[in-house]
A and B are shown apart, each in its own frame.
Chain A
Amino acid sequence: MNYVDFLLWVRGPAFQIATAIFIFGLSWRLLEILSLSRKPELAVVRERGIAGGFRTIFRRFLPVDDNTFQRSAFIITAGYIFHLGFFIILLLFVPHILFFREFFGFSWPGLPTPVIGIITIMTLLALIALLINRMRHPVLRFLSGFEDYFVWIVTFLPVLTGYMAFHHFFHYPLMLALHILSVELLMIVFPFTKLMHTFTWFISRWYTGSRAAQKGVQV
């Protein structure tokens, strides 16, 4: 198999398999969570809690107060850079938009390539800083297991290989194939790891926010 065959396989059957696992796994996991449901609240509530849940979805984007920010300043800052960077690259890099257009049939304007380049470097640096922090911080080192490091790798690789492919490191078709392959790895791993938080954080925030709002506390 030469590079071009490899690229074709990665773009074809491999991508279909990864997409199937991703979508099936994701739906299954969400179903697993929601089917557990929760008991209705029987206490007389101060407010119904539905709106309170949505308020918390948004409020929790920022730390609850200054002291909380200061106690976790590094992880909040680096975490934000990486998350924003990742989504900007994913959604606003023109070749990605062209790919999505093929898939969904519509498109949107992207960012100039040099800007994406800078954001990519920042994202990679933030990810590296977060990894070093995870290995050095007493709490994070203590909490972290195989999954935490494995998930870091599968998140880091698409960003790195994408950057290398765009700048034509090594052989372009090979690099592009590796980039797509790394994305497929991410998609396959996704439903079975903490990457699921991408689709569950708002469920968590909503549940917590609605219960607290029922009691009259803004969280």
Chain B
Amino acid sequence: MSTASFERGYNAFKEKIDAPIASYFSSCVHCGMCAQACMFFTETGDPKYTPIYKLEPMRKVWEQEYTLLGKLKALLGISQKLTDAELAEWQELIYGSCTLCGRCSMVCPVGNDLAYMIHKAREGIAAAGHAPKGLIDATKRAVIIGSAMGVKLATLQAQIKHTEHNTGIRIPLDEPGVDYLVILSALEVVNFPEYLEALAKIMKQADKTWTLSSIAFEATNPGLQIGVSDIAKELVSRVINVAEELGVSTVISPECGHAYTAIRWEGPNLIGRSFSFKVQHILEVLDELREQGKLKTEGFEKARLTFHDPCQLIRRGGVIEQPRHLLKMVATHFVEMEDPGKMNWCCGGGGGLVTQEESEELRTKAFNRKKTQLDALEVDTLVTACSNCRIVLEEGFEAYEMEMPVVGLTEMVAEHLVESEV
């Protein structure tokens, strides 16, 4: 990353403040309701985790640069100046205790989208050189190696071989003119190979053509999480270029929340134009196939199960009903958590938090929220649609000594595909 400095940070704040952010700061009355929506506050009781407080550095820049009183204060030399030390101190609040889950944005009585603000504020802290080390490293790996987790093509190729061996289905690579370009979360390559297997079976049954890419197989985008637009743009461009070269009609975003936001919602804004192809989350694709009668399943899950809504997919992404349709297709004992759907509580590891070792203790504390939700339900299985959530949930279960399998929805659906059709 280019040389960071306080000036660059300050200017990044300045540049990111738009009319929504100015109206949000003007509207805040310090009612404190956002704290009650944030798991880092509810599970610790520490008021410094109040979402609007996390924006203090950005608020100072806004006041000084974009308000009459702030300019007057600066003229008289009585303004509270933002300092580099403050930005360093705020790393913990902007990165270490916010998953950009956007729950606070749902409860603010004046309608402030706090998660939007915090995401923009990361641009300032990152440009000033105060992003957390874990996230910087992940971002570097993504730029240099091509994947935040450092997964290389050889690893993917090995997995392709395994999958072909297990399913007897050929996994296409770099095939032009197909229906779908499938991109993956590195976690799906390394930890959850079930996903690719499931996908191969589903595509075969639905009679759809698809391909992986040897250049752009990684969907995750730490540039977005760290708040460096240039890098986020570079990473998302790799997928866009390949998709356009191959001439696919749709790119399928994997079971990963922020990867969906990165390409579906931020992607066109990052590169400054719309795409020549469509972007869908895998659950949108599956639900569409279900509607078209191209997804045929048989039998039902016997376990009592619930669904963990990934924030970026549901609350911030709008894929809310699709997972429910699919779950009802394959499960008879599906129950909703308290605060389901767009009001669900985060796993506690989104927004790049999972890469930060220093936040681990806090994350575990905050996970108590998820535990409380799950304890009340007495379910046997937890289904989700984000491999990052999945890892964090598994870690949380370990910390709290809970025993419960966490399953990806795509693989659960694939388990029930009508056999003769595969």
Q: Is A208 a contact of B112 with CB atoms below 8 Å?
A: yes
Q: Is A142 a contact of B111 with CB atoms below 8 Å?
A: no
Chain B residues lying within 8 Å of A1, measured Cβ to Cβ, are none
A101 contacts the other chain (Cβ, under 8 Å)? no
Chain A residues lying within 8 Å of B107, measured Cβ to Cβ, are 63-64, 68, 72
Contact of B28 among A32, A194, A215, A216 (CB under 8 A): A194
Q: Is B23 a contact of A216 with CB atoms below 8 Å?
A: no
Q: Is A44 a contact of B274 with CB atoms below 8 Å?
A: yes
Q: Is B111 a contact of A201 with CB atoms below 8 Å?
A: yes
B343 contacts the other chain (Cβ, under 8 Å)? yes
A117 contacts the other chain (Cβ, under 8 Å)? no
Given A137-B32, A143-B53, A64-B343 contact (CB < 8 Å)? yes
Given A142-B50, A142-B53, A143-B32, A36-B22 contact (CB < 8 Å)? yes
Chain A residues lying within 8 Å of B52, measured Cβ to Cβ, are 143
CB distance from B6 to the nearest CB of A (A): 23
Output the residue of A34, A71, A72 with the most chain B CB within 10 A: A72
CB distance from A145 to the nearest CB of B (A): 8
Question: In this complex, what residue of A is CB-closest to B265?
Answer: A43
Given A44-B274, A64-B107, A200-B26 contact (CB < 8 Å)? yes
Q: Is A215 a contact of B269 with CB atoms below 8 Å?
A: no
Q: Is B66 a contact of A36 with CB atoms below 8 Å?
A: yes
B278 contacts the other chain (Cβ, under 8 Å)? yes
A residues 1-39 in Cβ contact with B at 8 Å = 25, 28-29, 32-39
A79 contacts the other chain (Cβ, under 8 Å)? yes
Contact of B45 among A34, A72, A138, A197 (CB under 8 A): A138
Chain B residues lying within 8 Å of A36, measured Cβ to Cβ, are 17-19, 21-22, 66
Q: A79 CA to B110 CA in the complex, in Å?
A: 12
Binds A, one of B35-43, B88-96, B385-393: B35-43
CB distance from B310 to the nearest CB of A (A): 13
A102 contacts the other chain (Cβ, under 8 Å)? no
CB distance from A20 to the nearest CB of B (A): 14
Contact of B265 among A197, A207, A208, A215 (CB under 8 A): A215
Output the residue of B27, B50, B67, B275 with the most chain A CB within 10 A: B27
Given A148-B30, A205-B110, A208-B112, A37-B19 contact (CB < 8 Å)? yes
Q: Is A75 a contact of B113 with CB atoms below 8 Å?
A: no
Binds A, one of B186-194, B315-323, B328-336: B315-323
A113 contacts the other chain (Cβ, under 8 Å)? no
Q: Is A28 a contact of B68 with CB atoms below 8 Å?
A: yes
Contact of B67 among A32, A57, A79 (CB under 8 A): A32
Contact of B47 among A28, A35, A143, A219 (CB under 8 A): A143
Chain A residues lying within 8 Å of B266, measured Cβ to Cβ, are 43
CB distance from B265 to the nearest CB of A (A): 5
Interface code B256-275, partner A: CB below 8 Å = 1, 0 otherwise?
Answer: 00000000111111001111
Chain B residues lying within 8 Å of A25, measured Cβ to Cβ, are 68
Q: A120 CA to B317 CA in the complex, in Å?
A: 45
Q: A76 CA to B107 CA in the complex, in Å?
A: 11
Question: In this complex, what residue of A is CB-closest to B263?
Answer: A43
Q: A142 CA to B339 CA in the complex, in Å?
A: 28
Contact of A211 among B41, B116, B342 (CB under 8 A): B116
Interface code B204-234, partner A: CB below 8 Å = 1, 0 otherwise?
Answer: 0000000000000000000000000000000
CB distance from A141 to the nearest CB of B (A): 8
Q: Is B267 a contact of A43 with CB atoms below 8 Å?
A: yes
Q: Is A75 a contact of B318 with CB atoms below 8 Å?
A: no
Contact of B23 among A28, A141, A143, A207 (CB under 8 A): A207
A162 contacts the other chain (Cβ, under 8 Å)? no
Q: A44 CA to B273 CA in the complex, in Å?
A: 10
Residues of B within 8 A of A (CB): 17-24, 26-33, 35-37, 41, 45, 47-48, 50, 52-53, 66-69, 105-113, 116, 264-269, 272-275, 278, 314-320, 338-339, 342-343
* Interchain residue pairs with CB less than 8 A apart (19): A25-B68, A36-B21, A60-B109, A60-B110, A60-B111, A65-B343, A68-B106, A138-B45, A139-B35, A139-B41, A140-B30, A143-B52, A191-B68, A203-B27, A204-B112, A208-B111, A208-B112, A211-B20, A215-B318
The 4 closest A-B pairs by CB, nearest first: A216-B318, A205-B111, A142-B47, A42-B268
Apart from the given pairs A68-B106, A72-B36, 17 other A-B contacts in the complex at a CB distance below 8 Å = A37-B18, A42-B272, A44-B274, A67-B338, A68-B36, A138-B45, A140-B30, A143-B50, A191-B68, A192-B69, A203-B23, A204-B26, A207-B23, A207-B24, A208-B20, A217-B314, A217-B320
